[in-house]
Amino acid sequence: MKQREVISRKGRLGIAIAVAGVTTLGLTATAQAQQTLNIVSWGGAYSMSQQRAYHEPWMEMSGDEIVNIDRSGNALAGLRAQSQAGNVTWDLVDMLPADAMIACAEGLIEPLDHDELLADAPDGTPPSEDFVDGALGECFVASIVYSNIVAFNTEMFPEDNQPSTIADVFDLENFPGKRTLMRKPINNLEWALVADGVAPEDVYDVLETEEGIQRAFAKLDTIKDEVIWWEEGAQPPQLLADQEVAFASAYNGRIFNAMVTEDQPFEIIWDAQVFELDGWVVPTGRLDKVRDYLRFATDTQRLADQAQYISYGPARESSSAMVSTHAETGIEMTEHMPTYGPNFATAIQKDDEFWADYNDELTQRFDAWLAQ
C-alpha cells in the first residue's frame, strides 16, 4: 500500500509524463529497494543483444544491477545442483524449451501464469494469443525464435553452381569439400531424412521408427568421411572463414554476425532450417524478485529491439511487425529472420517432446556410430 501511495503522489506531482504502462512499472521498481539480478544466459553476441535491448534500459529505469552469468549451456545441471544444495543463486535463466520441460517436471522452476504475468501487446492482445505457437510452456516464456541452418562459403563454389538445398549438403559429387556439423544427433538426423526425400513435416513420424533412424544414419554415412564435428558454437563460422570447410551447420545468428560485421562471403541455406525457441525460466522461489523485470523484458517493444542486434526472430507476433534495421550497419533485418516468409517455407519445428524422450538413446547411438 505504501508503494501505491508513493506512485500516486509522484503521479500527482506530474514528474512522470511518459507512456503510462512502462512508467508505472518503472516507478514501482524505483520504489522498491534496488536489487541485484543474477541472470544466466548464453554469452557472446546473444548476451550482448540482451544487454542492449533489455538490461541497459532496465537498469537505467529501475536502478537495479544486472549480473550476466554465461552458463546457459549447462543451465539444467546448474539448477539441479543449486536446488539440491538448497542454495539457488540464479534469479532468471535463459534456456531451451526442452530443458525447461525437464526442469519444470522436476520442480526446479516456477510455473508461470502468462496472461497475468506478461504485458499485453500494444493493441491489447493478451500474451497467450500474441506469442507464437509453442512459445509459452508451463514454466517457460520464449523471447526469440532462432534457427539451426547450414551455411556455405560462396568463394568455394563456382558462381554458376552454388548450393541451395539441404540435399546439396549431402551431395559430395556436385558440391565437394569438407563439412562441419554439430557433434550431436539433433538436426543432423532431421536433415539426413529431408535430404533423403522425406517431407519436412513428416520427419519426426519417420524418426520414431527404427527404419527411419537407420535411414537417417545411412544417409549420414554417405558424407561421414568428409565431416569435421564441432562442439562449440564459435567453431563453425571460424572453420568456414578459414575455408577449412565448405559447409557448416550453425546457429543462424552467428552466421549473420560473421556476414555483416566481418564481411564474410557466407550464404545461408534456409531450406529445412530446424527452428526452435529460446527464452526465460524462473528458478523456484524467485518469481517475486524478477516479476517486474520479466514483464519488461518480454514486452512487445523489447523483443522488437533485440532484433536490432542479432538476427533472431521475436517470439511475439506484435513485435515481428516492428522489426527494423541492424543497429550498427543499418541492414534491413526482416529478410535475415528465420521467420521471414521465403526462409520459412520448408522449416522444421524441433520436436521437443521427441528429443526429450530419445535424446539419451540417440546420442549414445550417434556416438557409437561416430566411433565405428
Partner 1 sequence: MSDSPSVPLTTADGVPLKVSLRRAVRRSKVKAFLLVSPLLLFLVVAFVMPIFDMLWRSVDNPEVSTHLSRTVASLEGWDGESLPDEAVFAALVEDLREGQEVRNLGLLSSRLNYEKSGMRSTISRTARRLGRIEPPYREALIEINDTWGELDTWKLIRREASPYTPSYYLAAVDRQLTPDGELAKVPAHLEIHVSLFWRTFWMSAVITGLTLLLGYPVAFLLANLPLRHSNLLMILVLLPFWTSLLVRTTTWIAILQSQGVLNDMMVAIGVIADEARWQMIHNKTGTIIAMTHILLPFMILPLYSVMKTIPPSYMRAARSLGGRPFLSFRRVYFPLTIPGIAAGAILVFILSIGYYITPALVGGQSGRFITNYIAYHMQTSLNWGLAAAIASILLFVVVAFYLVFNRLVGVDKVKLG
Partner 2 sequence: MALPSYATRGERIWHYVFLGLCALIFLFLVGPLLIIIPLSFNAEPYFTFSEAMLRLDPAGYSLRWYQDFFTSSAWLHAIKNSFIIGIASTILATVLGTIAALGLSSRHMPARGAIMALLISPMIVPLIISAAAMFFFFSKINLAQTYPGVILAHTALGIPFVVITVTATLSSFDTTLIRAAHSLGANPTRTFFKVVLPLVTPGVVSGALFAFITSFDEVVVVLFIAGPEQRTMPIQMWSGIREQISPTILAVATLLVLLSMLLLTTLELLRRRGERLRGLSPG
Binding site for partner 2 (CB under 8 A): 69-71, 81-82, 84-87, 89, 231-232, 234, 238
Among residues 53, 103, 119, 245, the one that binds partner 1 under rule CB under 8 A? 103
Least distance from C-beta 308 to partner 1, angstroms?
A: 33
Least distance from C-beta 352 to partner 1, angstroms?
A: 10
Residue 307 to residue 285: CA distance in whole angstroms = 31
Question: Half-sphere exposure of 282 toward its Cβ, with a 13 Å CA cutoff?
Answer: 22
Nearer to partner 1, 103 or 255 (CB): 103
Choose from partner 1, partner 2, none: what does 30 bind? Cβ within 5-8 Å by kind.
Answer: none
Q: Is 368 in the site for partner 1 (CB under 8 A)?
A: yes
- C-alpha cell of residue 214: 537407420
Choose from partner 2, partner 1, none: what does 89 bind? Cβ within 5-8 Å by kind.
Answer: partner 2
Least distance from C-beta 288 to partner 1, angstroms?
A: 18
What does residue 8 show for φ and ψ, rounded to 5 degrees?
Answer: -65, -35
**C-alpha distances out from residue 91 to 81, 298, 370, Å:** 15, 16, 39
Least distance from C-beta 1 to partner 2, angstroms?
A: 37
Question: Half-sphere exposure of 140 toward its Cβ, with a 13 Å CA cutoff?
Answer: 24
Residue 46 to residue 52: CA distance in whole angstroms = 10
Choose from partner 2, partner 1, none: what does 70 bind? Cβ within 5-8 Å by kind.
Answer: partner 2
DSSP string for residues in 137-205: ETTEEEEEEEEEEEEEEGGGS-TT----SHHHHT-TTTS-S-EEEESSSTTHHHHHHHHTT--GGGHHH
From residue 340 to residue 359, what is the string marking binding to partner 1 with x (rule CB under 8 A)? -------------x--xxxx
Instruction: Write b or e for each residue in 263-299: b if 16 or more Cβ atoms lie within 10 A of its Cβ, otherwise e.
Output: ebebbbbbbbbbbbbbbbbbbbebbebbebbbbbbbb
Among residues 120, 226, 244, 317, the one that binds partner 1 under rule CB under 8 A? 244
Least distance from C-beta 70 to partner 2, angstroms?
A: 7
Q: Is 291 in the site for partner 1 (CB under 8 A)?
A: no
| Nearest CA-CA partner of 39 in 350, 283, 372 | 283
Q: Is 155 in the site for partner 1 (CB under 8 A)?
A: no
Nearer to partner 2, 56 or 357 (CB): 56
Neighbours of 63 (CB within 10 A): 14
Least distance from C-beta 44 to partner 2, angstroms?
A: 9
Chain residues 163-192 in contact with partner 1, contact rule CB under 8 A: 183
- C-alpha cell of residue 104: 519444470
Question: Half-sphere exposure of 210 toward its Cβ, with a 13 Å CA cutoff?
Answer: 0
Nearer to partner 1, 243 or 324 (CB): 243
Q: Is 242 in the site for partner 1 (CB under 8 A)?
A: yes
Q: Which residues bind partner 1 (CB under 8 A)?
A: 74, 76-77, 80, 101-108, 111, 183, 229, 242, 244, 353, 356-361, 363-365, 367-371
